[in-house]
Structure 1
Amino acid sequence: MIAETRERLDAMPGWISQQTQSSTYPRAFLAAAEARGADRAQMLADAGLDAQRVEDPEGRLSLREVWMLAAVTRVRSGDPTLGFACGDSMPLTAHGNLGYALLCAGTPREAVGLLQRFWHLRGRGVQLLVNESDNDMFMELVPECALPPRLVDLMFSSIATSMFRGMEFLIRDLPGTAEIWLQGPAPDGVETWQARLPTLRFSMPRAGIHLVGDLSVMDQPLATANPEGLRAAVAQCERESALSDPGGDVLRRVRAMLLAGPNGYPSPVMLAERLHMTPRTFRRRLQEQGFSYQQLLEEARRRDSCQLLRDPEREIRRISDQLGYLNPANFTRAFKSWTGMTPREWRQQSSH
């Protein structure tokens, strides 16, 4: 995993080497791995990191360094569930000014809005997409770069666990059903975390936190609400945002615009026009982020397929058409490659 991660990182755009990341998260991975018997000095050496930089509370690392260290801690700890342990150890205050803003928000819905607005301050390299219907909210995690699948599972299990713990702290009674979805297979030893977290679902078409039930709780006042503290925290977040590099904005906007309409998904030419770019510039900007239009289209299809399949009245053939597949067999093959199940099998399982 270490060699694979290093090779993949070498091929990524230069912005991942900018020192924009807090040292909080690397320290959390190191601590979790140490608790499992890994040697701290050896892990830092493997990742090519100086201990002083990591230990400095004000220290900044690059995404490349953070991802490399995460891969090293996973290998040296020998624990495929390390991400859950890392996320479980981080309270809201570990997320700096953004964490304080969430604590001071008036309602859970306002907190989610703040999380989306300032996610880039703490979640660079991963995007947060929030989709909500009447009784359904999905907080989706999407990588900004084409990382090795095992590293994505490690990072996403940590992020989703940390997010869920924050939600538990803020919201006294979570709506109906809460689930954590991950795209990789269930790791060895996950039974421990199945008992401590909400339902964990693996081999899913997308990753994130899924809430189903009465979402009116999202508009209830939070016990920790503090308007004065919120103003101060938001001001600090805005200051951080003004000083940070806004890279990845094109990728975020394309993902937000890739929605299936009556005529399917928008084409590359249509997206380029909406972004006021030539098609050639559009392709180049995506390539700089390590993606292509086709990859993002497949992401959108994975995302939307689950939502559409949850409606038992919607025929699978109609879903296939809406997602832009020429025939249902193509959709079935694609969906099975994402989840290991056919659309019909997944629908039956998710209804239980």
Structure 2
Amino acid sequence: MVVSGRTWFTPGIPGIYVVLLCDVLRDLGHDPAALLKTLGLKREQLLDPEYRLPLEQADAAAEAALALVGDAGLGFRYARAMRITLHGPVGLLALSSPTMDDGLEAARRYLGLRAPFLSVERVPLAERRQALSFRTDFSPGPIQNFVIEAMVIGFVYMLEQLLEASPEGAEVHFQGAPPPHAEALRRAVPVPVHYGQARDALIVSEALLAARPRLADPQAEALAREQCELEFRRWRANQEGPLPERVRAVLRDHPAPLPDLADMAERLATSPRTLKRHLQQAGLTYRQLQDEARYRQACKLLGERGKRISEVAFAVGYNDVANFSRAFKRWSGQTPRDYRGG
């Protein structure tokens, strides 16, 4: 699987994450030498704090590791092996934050510096709870499942490390059916895990968000935030290509619902006002680029004969088939039925 549209303006994956993957494979009884050979890399290279693995190579690493492990549950085992200190200044910022809420927000804000293929949205829920909803740029399949499982469970273990105790008031939701390793996962994870849910998310209570991390330290937090901002600015300075094309790259094959203007601006490390201005200078609007992406997605899905038009409409973000049909005719000059027939 290839992560679409990310090659020119993301920092890649820190090499230490692949080192950890090799260690997890070894603990599961597999020799990671073949994995490193596939990547054409040595462990010493990956241990370099400045090394970043291109996302295509990270894809290859995940595919090779999953092929070795099968149904053993690589995602949650990888998350369990992860330590917050491996995230560098981002981890230090979370550790030293005054509240768990601040720590989670720091992790969410700077996530792109460590996992540029992932986004996390905070969604208010009833009963004084919030959902940290996870999305990836990967197409549905084994790699997406691995990444989602590793990241959601990784946040659980991050909470546990921040508190130095079990994160009471948290639970995990996954959209899919329970995998073969579901029971092993439930035994290992210190919070309830539910499948068949509305979103892939970590659910947290307001009481948990208000808790104080055991290593909260204002001075350490200020220094870590300064380091994160410096890295963030360097990432932004190293971005190449005009903003409209970078927007198109993020939207390409992004699952519905597509990010709104504010979310897109945050992903590209700019402000909504600046993004809007650049698009206007190019004679574009963000709505136009969203429609481009929806049209591409719709055409692809309409080519799958087993899908009903109502399913295609829902998949690209329309709850009403008539509205989807009107939009598709505006984009292509044909109705979805005519397009499929042609």
TM-score, normalised with respect to structure 1 = 0.67
2:234 aligns with one of 233, 243, 248:
243
Consecutive unaligned residues in structure 1, runs of 5 or more:
260-270, 298-319, 331-352
Instruction: Find the counterpart in structure 1 of residue 104 from structure 2.
Output: 112
Q: Find out whether 1:325 has 2:326 as its counterpart.
A: no
Go from structure 1 to structure 2 and tell me whether the alpha carbon gap of 1:80 and 1:151 turns closer, same or farther (over 3 Å shift): farther
SS class of match (1:13):
coil
Pick which of 222-231 and 49-58 moved more.
Answer: 49-58
Q: Structure 1 residue 142: deviation in Å?
A: 0.8
- 1:141–1:207 Cα contact (<8 Å) kept: yes
Report the counterpart of residue 304 of structure 2 in structure 1. none
Q: Separation in 2 of the partners of 1:54 and 1:283?
A: 41
Q: Separation in 1 of the partners of 2:185 and 2:159?
A: 17
Match of 1:138 in 2: 131
> How many aligned residue pairs are there?
279
In structure 1, C-alpha distance between the alignment counterparts of 2:6 and 2:274, rounded to whole Å: 26
Would the alpha carbon gap of residues 280 and 233 (structure 1) be closer, same or farther in structure 2, given more than 3 Å must change?
A: same
Deviations 1:193-222 (A, max 9, x none): 1112122233434212122x4x13422433
| Pairing 1:126–2:115 present | no
Query: 1-side partners of 2:112 and 2:297: how far apart?
Result: 19
Q: How big is each residue's C-alpha offset from its partner over 1:4-26, in whole Å with a ceiling of 9 and x where there is no partner?
A: x2xx45xx336269653211211
Question: Match for 1:239: what amino acid?
Answer: L
Tell me how large the CA RMSD over aligned residues is. Answer: 3.8
Percent of pairs with identical residues? 18
Residues 104 and 230 in structure 1, CA contact (< 8 A), matched pair in contact too: yes
Q: Which amino acid aligns with 2:122?
A: V
1:163 Cα shift?
A: 0.8
The alpha-carbon deviation at position 53 of structure 1 amounts to 2.3
The structural deviation recorded for 1:88 is 0.4
Letter in 2 for 1:255: P
Evaluate the alpha carbon distance shift between residue 152 and residue 229 of structure 1 in structure 2; reply closer, same or farther with a 3 A threshold: same
User: Following the alignment from structure 2 to structure 1, what is the Cα–Cα distance between the partners of residues 29 and 66?
Assistant: 12
2:171 is aligned with 1:167? no
Distance 1:50 1:294, change over 3 A: farther
Contact 1:17 1:62 in 2 (8 A): no
Deviation of 1:284 after TM superposition, in Å, equals: 8.3
What amino acid does structure 2 have at the position aligned with 1:240? Answer: E
Deviation per residue, 1:33-74 (Å, 9 max, x gap)? 122222222112234444442233432211221222112111
Contact 1:21/1:122 (<8 A) preserved: yes
Instruction: Confirm or deny that 1:149 pairs with 2:150.
Output: no
Structure 2 residue 201 is matched with structure 1 residue 208 = yes
Task: Assess, with a 3 A threshold, how the Cα gap between structure 1 residues 284 and 67 changes in structure 2: closer, same or farther.
Answer: farther
Instruction: Tell me how far apart the structure 2 counterparts of residues 180 and 92 of structure 1 sit (CA, whole Å).
Output: 19
Give distance in 2, aligned partners of 1:142 and 1:296: 17
Look up the SS of the partner of 2:229 in the other structure: helix
One-letter amino acid of the counterpart of residue 85, structure 1? R
**2:94 matched residue in structure 1:** 102
For 1:229, the equivalent position in structure 2 comes to 220
CA–CA distance in structure 1, aligned partners of residues 109 and 168 of structure 2:
23
User: Does the 8 A contact of 2:76 with 2:153 survive in 1?
Assistant: yes
**2:88 alignment partner, SS class:** helix
Cα offsets for 1:214-272 (capped at 9, x unmatched): x134224333110111111111111111111486985599625599xxxxxxxxxxx99
CA deviation digits over 1:133-172, x for unaligned, max 9? 45121111111x2434210110111111211011122245
User: In structure 2, what is the Cα distance between the partners aligned to 1:101 and 1:272?
Assistant: 28
The answer (yes or no) to whether the contact 1:26–1:70 under 8 Å persists in 2 is no
